[in-house]
Amino acid sequence: MNVYSIFLGMIGPPQVILIVVVVLLLFGGRKIPELMKGLGGGIKEFKKASKEDDPKEIEKDDKA
C-alpha cells in the first residue's frame, strides 16, 4: 500500500466537519468571507500572470 492512500483514506465526513468547526473558531464567521475573497483575488492574479507569460495566449489576444 502507498503511504498517500493510507492518509487519504482516513479523511471522511466527521473529519471534514471537525476541520470546518476549528476554522470557524479560529477565524470567526465574519473573517472567512474576507479570506476567501483574498484567495480568489490571488488565484485570479496568478492566472493573469501565467497568461501573460504564454506567447500563444499573447498572439490570440493580439488577433482579437
Q: How do residues 14-45 score in pLDDT, each as one tens digit? A: 888 888 889 888 888 888 888 889 999 999 99
Burial 14-33 (b: 16+ CB within 10 A, else e): eeeeeeeeeeeeeeeeeeee
What distances in angstroms separate CA 11 from CA 4, 18, 31, 52, one per listed residue? 12, 11, 26, 38
The predicted pLDDT at position 12 comes to: 81
Question: Residue 58 contacts by C-beta under 8 Å, 6 or more apart in sequence?
Answer: 52
The predicted pLDDT at position 2 comes to: 60
Kindly report the pTM of this predicted structure. Answer: 0.47
Count how many domains the chain has. 1
pLDDT band at 50 (very low <50, low <70, confident <90, very high): confident
d(CA 49, CA 43): 10
Task: Give percent of the chain above pLDDT 70.
Answer: 69
Range of the domain at 53: 3-63
